[in-house]
Amino acid sequence: LMSATLSKDLREKYNCRAIPVCKEDEVKIMTGKLKGREGRVTQVYRKRFYIIVDRVNRTKSDGQTEVSVPIHPSNVMITNIKETPSRLKILERRGAGAKHMDVVD
């Protein structure tokens, strides 16, 4: 539901195409006005379906205040994941399924 694609090297490492975004993942924005910017995920709002990435801000119309820009997770690519035990289990399970599909074909 809140998944983002993995970079090519992470795809090869974990044999998985996408994984849900978590706090402290490093991401690169792939679409929109902020395309190409990189940063670390600081907040994940599951209720509103967006994430906040540090160093991705915009200036308000008063010219002084900077505000974080909400980004939909489908518009980013994960470049480095925070490896937790539960997350590694998910990656292992998904990777095993993908390997099984390669054998069947």
Please tell me the distance from the alpha carbon of residue 32 to that of residue 75, in angstroms, as a whole number: 8
Please tell me the distance from the alpha carbon of residue 76 to that of residue 11, in angstroms, as a whole number: 15
Q: Percent of the chain, pLDDT > 90?
A: 84
Give the pLDDT of residue 104: 53
Please tell me the distance from the alpha carbon of residue 71 to that of residue 84, in angstroms, as a whole number: 24
pTM over 0.85: yes
E strands, 32-81, in order: 38-45, 50-59, 66-71, 76-80
Residue with tokens 């994960």: 78
pLDDT digits (tens, 9 = 90+) for 10-57: 999 999 999 999 999 999 999 999 999 999 999 999 999 999 999 999
Nearest CA to 73 among 31, 33, 37? Answer: 31
Q: Is 63 a residue whose pLDDT tops 80?
A: yes
**The token pair that represents 97 in the structure block:** 């399924």
Label residue 97 by pLDDT band (50, 70, 90): confident
Give the pLDDT of residue 98: 67
